[in-house]
Structure 1
């Protein structure tokens, strides 16, 4: 059977199943993003500085990167249904522990556990890519990523609004209940699939590292997303400090900005169709320019007042659209490389992306402490320029090494 055909003879998922899986991606990933809106509330309740409380966000992202590297390769070795349900259950229990934490170290440790178990979207996406025809892969990936984006952005609205109303523990406790309910639903809904590999666990991990060495397009996609996602997390982690500091607004205001940004979830299916039509490289290029434009708009936040808030909101929306659309292009590129090792390709890619995001979160806090909001905007722009320079260099290199068309034989030699 061709590798791109659905495994175990399972029917290609229909629209309802794709939408359920997209919703699962959003709910699953939300656990590591809503803390960005409530870190000032954590700081006030646990009597620590806002900078220190922001380590909860960084810890969740480092846990996510570790989970991607250590757990996502199991998507090629184990049945997807059991793996997804187990990880969601662990994430739900971790959220319960976080919601009951009375000290910052316990909250940080729980955040690492939550992050590690919240890798379910990175198992769902390559699984679904293997269940749909190649000509639909970009569009389906875009739909799944729109659910992922909705979770990322609405999580901040959920966390900020509920945290402002009932305290910072409430989002964790509600998340625990929702994630465990989702685990029960997916225990019956996820299609039965056959593992694509019988390799032992150490070999699975080793394959992800070897793929980084042998696949130039994978390395390129990893670099693009690590740089762009670093700027994205730097901006979002610092935004709570800007809104609750100079603007003197509550955590719910961060949630409202995120609610506007949630409109970016509608851009990823469009990006997927553009990738199917034109390939990933042009989409990547436009997205990098979009991030630079977003950084320029975000500098308006330094003006204060309504004009500053409008600039920040529009800039964050553009940043979200550019980052997530670039993600569609990058994942379409890597999923086309080696279909039999999609989970491990995604492991390498997402590990790099979230290591970049974790470092970006840390750099964003440092930039804000040293240079204010303008320093964060500069950081976002510099990271995007680095990605753009690499993309343009790769384009020139491909043009140089492209083989020239063979000369036409003249009539005398025909």
Structure 2
């Protein structure tokens, strides 16, 4: 290879890295909006005392909105320029965030949270965009890079929301997000290239085609259920953590609950490594290990209702397990049908966030009835469901590659 060819390849690699970092930022800033409310639940309970028993609906509805947005909006990435879709959703998201910041009642906040969830699917335009830009041999690493941004957004959202709410009130959290999205939109306009649509199907047929993908690809069905169960386990912990810390013996506010996001962010660093491992060895082994880690984390949580050290250890183990499984699942489903990556991603992520909403909903029910032990047992149950679904098809590995 000549010097000029080497220089050109290095320049292309640098350009790709820059685009992947931008896509990671888009994913992280966008998805953070569906997690800002989790460390704020005690604040919301105080702001709306007449509706205090319903505050758990805020995170659950937000995640259901995200699943709906995945189903209705994310498939458009195969049909239209993803850059344009990202900009349009950012504009609409800003309107929903202003409504949340100004909400006079809890029902209004719940409605705004539903809209925020729908529009936060900006993040799910970024991930298949990365798979499109990267060469096949680097696809797992590219997806892992963007997913690390998304996962950092999920985790650090709680930290940012907790800090802002501690000093400026919970409404300021949504105002700050509007400012961040405006800055992000300016960068997208300047730096992000247009994507190439891969489908000419009409909107209705585009949606119907996802059912055919589910029927056609056994690996997609298996990955979707495993991912949903893992994210349900993840969500049941994070949706209840602020309530645990607010009571005895901790008596801590939203800032402390948010700071747990920094602890969990250590797990997000496993995302690119998981992507590289999937590129080299295949995903099944790392998914098996991930399920074991998630189950172990809930054993630790069950023993740590009064131990800050135990909670910290459990958070790290939980996040590493969930995030490594997520990357491995996505790297294999993107290889199933390259001209339908947005739709394949939609099927998977709709199931994933329905699982998240289920986890949050179960947490809202189990916490007042059975306390922290009940939450830990439910989380372990979701891990067991993931293990059953993953291992029951082990004999058919050729269908799950």
Tell me if both proteins adopt one fold, taking TM over 0.5 as the criterion: yes
Kindly state the Cα deviation for residue 194 of structure 1 after the two structures are TM-superposed: 2.0
The TM-score, its normalising length taken from structure 2, stands at 0.94
1:104-119 to 2 correspondences below 5 Å: 104-119=106-121
Separation in 1 of the partners of 2:397 and 2:17?
38
Q: Which residue of 2 aligns with 1:133?
A: 135
Kindly state the Cα deviation for residue 45 of structure 1 after the two structures are TM-superposed: 1.2
Q: Does 1:347 align with 2:349?
A: no
Q: Which residue of 2 aligns with 1:242?
A: 244
Kindly state the Cα deviation for residue 391 of structure 1 after the two structures are TM-superposed: 1.6
Look up the SS of the partner of 1:118 in the other structure: helix
Larger radius of gyration: 1
Deviations 1:192-247 (A, max 9, x none): 22211110000111111221111100000100000010111011001111011232
Q: In the alignment, is the contact (CA less than 8 A) between 2:16 and 2:133 conserved in 1? A: no
Pick one of 84, 96, 99 that aligns with 1:97: 99
Kindly state the Cα deviation for residue 20 of structure 1 after the two structures are TM-superposed: 1.4
Deviations 1:156-176 (A, max 9, x none): 001111111111101110001
Q: Does 1:174 align with 2:176?
A: yes
Separation in 1 of the partners of 2:99 and 2:374?
35
| More off after superposition, 225-234 vs 173-182 | 173-182
Q: Does 1:294 align with 2:293?
A: no
Separation in 2 of the partners of 1:130 and 1:152?
23
Q: Which residue of 2 aligns with 1:121?
A: 123
Q: In the alignment, is the contact (CA less than 8 A) between 2:297 and 2:318 conserved in 1? A: yes
Q: Which residue of 1 aligns with 2:225?
A: 223
Q: Which residue of 2 aligns with 1:159?
A: 161
Separation in 2 of the partners of 1:395 and 1:50?
46
Kindly state the Cα deviation for residue 380 of structure 1 after the two structures are TM-superposed: 0.9
1:356-371 to 2 correspondences below 5 Å: 356-371=355-370
Kindly state the Cα deviation for residue 49 of structure 1 after the two structures are TM-superposed: 5.3
Q: Does 1:195 align with 2:197?
A: yes
Look up the SS of the partner of 1:144 in the other structure: helix
Look up the SS of the partner of 2:73 in the other structure: helix
Deviations 1:67-90 (A, max 9, x none): 000000000011111101001111
Equivalent residue pairs, number = 387
Separation in 1 of the partners of 2:274 and 2:168?
38
Q: Which residue of 2 aligns with 1:268?
A: 271
Kindly state the Cα deviation for residue 51 of structure 1 after the two structures are TM-superposed: 4.0
Look up the SS of the partner of 1:34 in the other structure: coil
1:53-64 to 2 correspondences below 5 Å: 53-64=55-66
Give ranges in structure 1 of 5+ residues lacking alignment.
1-10, 403-414
Q: How big is the alpha-carbon RMSD for the aligned residues of Structure 1 and Structure 2?
A: 1.5
Separation in 1 of the partners of 2:81 and 2:190?
13
Separation in 2 of the partners of 1:49 and 1:379?
26
Q: Which residue of 2 aligns with 1:310?
A: 309
Separation in 1 of the partners of 2:226 and 2:88?
31
Q: Which residue of 2 aligns with 1:233?
A: 235
Q: In the alignment, is the contact (CA less than 8 A) between 1:51 and 1:365 conserved in 2? A: no
The TM-score, its normalising length taken from structure 1, stands at 0.91
